[in-house]
């Protein structure tokens, strides 16, 4: 299976900071990020991205570094987390994102807010319409069958 390229957009307080192309296998996989301060730079951080980047034989974990600049009011509190040779794992200092996490803003708790709050309602409306057409089709088939059976 060939890998795909995803467009990752980084926001801070609802403001778009940068975009990065990210390699991955499919839309169901998680992308885990950890941020690290760069000593001497107040507006830059390094993001470590850990994800399935090579899709051969079920996938292999790739890790890459992204330098992100233009940030404001960075909180550079130290989180006691040692990154060894193993892939990055979710913890209190990481953010895990999925391709389907459409966002317009990331709140102060690093939780994405959905772009369209009516998505669930729209999905339910579509399901009702589909079920209505199925029911009409069944009833029409029943009546047509009764007419031809006579």
User: Over the stretch 22-64, which tens digit does the pLDDT of each residue have?
Assistant: 888 888 888 888 888 888 888 888 888 998 887 877 778 888 8
Q: Are 34 and 51 in contact (CB under 8 A)?
A: no
Domain residue extents for the chain: 4-115, 116-150
pLDDT of residue 150: 65
Name residues whose C-beta falls within 8 Å of residue 90's C-beta, 6 or more positions apart in sequence: 30, 32, 96
Q: State the pTM of this model.
A: 0.60
Percent of the chain with pLDDT over 70: 75
Give the pLDDT band of residue 120 (cuts 50, 70, 90): very low
Give the pLDDT band of residue 101 (cuts 50, 70, 90): low
Give me the mean pLDDT over the 86-91 stretch: 82
CA 3 to chain centre: 16
pLDDT of residue 114: 43
Separation CA 91–CA 109 (nearest Å):
14
* Mean pLDDT computed over every residue of the chain: 76
Q: Are 43 and 69 in contact (CB under 8 A)?
A: yes
Higher pLDDT, 114 or 101: 101
Give me the mean pLDDT over the 98-104 stretch: 64
Q: Are 1 and 65 in contact (CB under 8 A)?
A: no
Higher pLDDT, 79 or 42: 42
pLDDT of residue 125: 65
């Amino acid at each position: 299976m060939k890998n795909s390229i995803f467009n990752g957009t980084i926001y801070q307080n609802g403001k778009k900071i940068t975009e990065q192309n990210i390699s991955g296998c499919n839309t169901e996989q998680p992308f885990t990020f950890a941020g690290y301060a760069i000593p001497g730079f107040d507006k830059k951080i390094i993001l470590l991205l850990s994800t399935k980047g090579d899709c051969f034989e079920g996938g292999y974990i790739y890790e890459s570094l992204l330098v992100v600049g233009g940030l404001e009011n960075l909180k550079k509190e130290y989180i006691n987390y040692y990154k060894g040779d193993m892939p990055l794992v979710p913890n209190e200092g990481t953010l895990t994102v999925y391709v389907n996490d459409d966002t317009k803003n990331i709140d102060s708790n690093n939780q994405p807010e959905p772009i369209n709050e009516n998505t669930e309602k729209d999905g339910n409306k579509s399901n009702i319409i589909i079920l209505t057409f199925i029911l009409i089709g069944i009833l029409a088939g029943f009546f047509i069958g009764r007419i031809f059976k006579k």
